[in-house]
Amino acid sequence: MMYLQAVPEELVDWRPGEDKFSIGDLIRHLGSTELMFLHAMTHQEWKYEGHGPEKGRTLPEAIAYLQACHKTAQEGLNQLEPESLTGKVKNMLGYEVSVWRLLMAMAEHEIHHRGQLSAYLQANGIQPPQIFGLKIEQIPTTS
């Protein structure tokens, strides 16, 4: 959420190219994919609801959509029984993967798009927040 707080409202529709996600698309995509992963884990099928502007045209609306999806996903994940983590789900290529691996994929997916959002911010002259509080240059070296 720190990254989203750094986005000015006027950049919600900004995209680096015509065929690329806008910042709003990214935010809505993150929400929809949380629900997609949860659905795959609980129903053994993949279902993506899209990331169109009807899910939030303004920055606050897109963020509210992401927050609502995140809450739903958290509640659903909290209901998973520990033994279900070893259950299998076919991925979109038809290979079976463990539910625990889908949990990892959720985190990897979010990290990927956080990096994308960081690049979008920097392309617009905005320094992205430091997720650990410090830049690497601020950490003392051993030499």
Task: State the residue for tokens 């410090």.
Answer: 134
Query: Binding site membership for a divalent metal cation: which residues?
Result: 29, 109, 113
Give which of 18, 108, 57 is closest to 27, Cα–Cα. Answer: 57
Instruction: Burial-class residue 1 by CB neighbours within 10 Å (0-12, 13-18, 19+).
Output: exposed
Query: Binding site membership: which residues?
Result: 29, 109, 113
47, 34, 69, 85 alpha-carbon torsion, rounded to 10°: 100
